[in-house]
Structure 1
Amino acid sequence: MDPVEALDRIAFLLERSLAPTYRVRAFRAAARTLSGLSPEEVRERAAAGSLERLNGVGPKTAQVVLEALAGEVPGYLRKLEDEAAGEPAEQAEQAGRELRALLRGDCHLHSDWSDGGSPIEEMGRTAAQLGHEWAALTDHSPRLTVARGLSADRLREQLDVVAELNETWAPFRLLTGIECDILEDGSLDQDPELLGMLDVVVVSVHSKLRMDARSMTRRMVAAVRDPHSDVLGHCTGRLLTGRGRPESQFDADEVFAACRETGTALEVNSRPERQDPPRRLLRRAVEAGVLFSIDTDAHAPGQLDWQILGCARAQECGVPPERVVTTWSMDELLAWTRERKVPSGVPGG
């Protein structure tokens, strides 16, 4: 087994299981170090017992390299693969596999430009390896300082980075985007002119999550009606793990009606600790006739594999595949985000 592939696979599985960031970084760092060496030099260092002298290689990662070079599946990797077989993503595979097979992209992922843990290049490359035709990079907007939200200048700089990467990635394409904070009055936290330059705009509430239902409804409807809004992200804001967080209170029927009227998609957030919206609201959104975007909200490469969780919930709740924008081709998606044109056969198209 190739040592770099083994190290990358371990990091992927750790990310997928929400392992502590420091554990993931150890394997990512070792993989980057070894990828800069020739296979011959790696073997020579392994034979001489000098792997741990390399920057970023420690006892555990060196052991993985030695076992891979011996033609074995490293023990630590085998252990993680066995554990992954019992994770929610694996358990959901049967329920969501039909819809997952139709997906072509992901409208919501983060890089280390905001609060993600990996460079843009790693996120895009992994999305392509998972079979996506496109994915949208949606780092946070400036008001969310705790997540290192992007100022207008940093976002413009990011656009240049994405354009350069896309020159080498065809036919896969990383779309430009943002996860834009919905401010208390329903306005969006970024320069409107700059929002108009992006391929995908996800709008989400990240503050004042406990405001009264009437105010929250007005806030969310105003954001959905903004012409730059494409996807309403994790609409209830709930968290199911740790100390948890209750759902924000709002008139779901009014918000979903605004989504239907404006052609804004409702996100089916696939993160295990979010599972947002809850099933009861997801079924009401189906009845309301809205579009959907099944997204990972990934903050690391391994988390891009979580879409099966959202697919399982969407299938269970009767979400029509033709109304899922992440099943659309890139051209169809961009026609929708730019002009609200939807493919033939989709209600309203």
Structure 2
Amino acid sequence: MDPQEALLEIARLLERERASRYRAKAFRQAAAIYAELPGDARGDLNRIQATKGIGDSTFAVIRQALAGETPNYLVELRGEVEPEIVSELRGRLRGDLHAHTEWSDGTTSIAAMADAARALGHEYQAITDHSPRLRVARGLTAERLRTQLPQVRAESGGGLTLLTGIEVDILEDGGLDQEDALLGELDVVVASAHSKLRMDSAPMTRRLVKAVSNPHVSVLGHVTGRLVQGERGTRPASQFEARAVFEACAEHGVAVEINSRPERQDPPDELIALALEIGCLFSIDSDAHAPGQLSLLDHGAQRAERAGVPAERIVTTWGLDRLRRWAG
């Protein structure tokens, strides 16, 4: 098989598995380095092995691929990484409103995320890097966000529209961590709480209600902030009056995110049922931090389908024009 394709498939599988970001990135970088080699060098094992950025593991993949074999590591990963979950609802999703790039805490470029979304058949993909307060994630200042916007728009094409956006931090008082005028320029605003998640219920309720009442907010992201598994450990759900928060979402047309990351499973099933009862819209999003994680939408679709969420209430089943009218 083609060595570059083998390396990229390994990277995608490692990303979907949420393995070490450095391991996945090493295979992605090796694929790029191999592709940049002169044509006569791509079959020269000695030269390839001596090339900076190609280590023992990536060289072994290249060597086996050039020999006409399926690399052992790729065979191993194909057997270990769970296949994508097939569901009727997954087939109806037309895009994704929550994903990160190397501009904040993602691992790859805007272009790489666009390529991956295109390969999945997305009609649209929002790029929603973090806002400045989240320094550990290299959140975007207003200046950096303004610099990013034309670069996001420039990657549209080939049947995919890249939407400008942000995952804006919800401050402790319910304000949003970005200039209000700049939020108004974006296609999509996902508002999420990332700090002080153990606030008492009453102030947390006021915080979330105020955030979703902002006219620029499109989606309320991973509402409870919980973690139920994974290398980051577990974290309990934030406490708040869910009915009040979801009633505010319904009143302002804000979609409740069904976050597709298996380590989050957020909202819990009982809160999805409550939001459905209240009349909320939903957005099934990957919260991808690498191209291979865009496929995690299958987990969110499976949870929504099990919960009985109608497709017409899920904004990411809508076509681009309808989505723009809603988000705008």
Q: If the length of structure 2 is used for normalisation, what is the TM-score?
A: 0.97
Cross-structure match for 1:78:
75
Distance 1:134 1:164 in 2: 13
Deviation at 1:310, TM superposition (A): 0.4
Distance 1:64 1:203 in 2: 41
Deviation at 1:71, TM superposition (A): 1.8
CA contact (8 A) 2:41 2:48 kept: no
Cross-structure match for 2:147:
157
Cross-structure match for 1:251:
241
Deviation at 1:208, TM superposition (A): 0.7
Distance 2:130 2:259 in 1: 16
Cross-structure match for 2:17:
17
Distance 1:23 1:113 in 2: 19
Counterpart pick for 2:250 among 227, 244, 260: 260
**Matching of residue 63 in structure 1 with residue 60 in structure 2:** yes
Distance 1:162 1:22 in 2: 24
User: How many pairs are equivalent?
Assistant: 326
Cross-structure match for 1:215:
203
Following superposition of structure 1 onto structure 2, how do residues 107-186 of structure 1 map, counting pairs within 5 Å? 107-166=97-156, 169-186=157-174
Deviation at 1:177, TM superposition (A): 0.1
Cross-structure match for 2:302:
312
Name the amino acid aligned to 1:224. Answer: V
Distance 1:134 1:243 in 2: 32
Distance 1:198 1:279 in 2: 31
Deviation at 1:13, TM superposition (A): 0.4
Deviation at 1:50, TM superposition (A): 2.5
**Matching of residue 231 in structure 1 with residue 219 in structure 2:** yes
- 4+ runs deviating over 2 angstroms: 37-41, 163-166
Counterpart pick for 1:54 among 37, 51, 56: 51
Cross-structure match for 1:32:
32
Q: Which runs of 5+ in 2 are unaligned?
A: none
Distance 1:24 1:243 in 2: 21
Deviation at 1:173, TM superposition (A): 1.1
Deviation at 1:119, TM superposition (A): 1.0
Following superposition of structure 1 onto structure 2, how do residues 97-116 of structure 1 map, counting pairs within 5 Å? 97-116=87-106
Distance 1:174 1:35 in 2: 25
Cross-structure match for 1:341:
none
Give the fraction of aligned pairs with identical amino acids, expressed as a percent: 56
Name the amino acid aligned to 2:66. Answer: L
Deviation at 1:39, TM superposition (A): 4.4
CA deviation map 1:14-35 (0-9, x unaligned): 1111111221122111101011
Give secondary structure in 2 for the equivalent of 1:57.
coil
CA contact (8 A) 2:41 2:47 kept: no
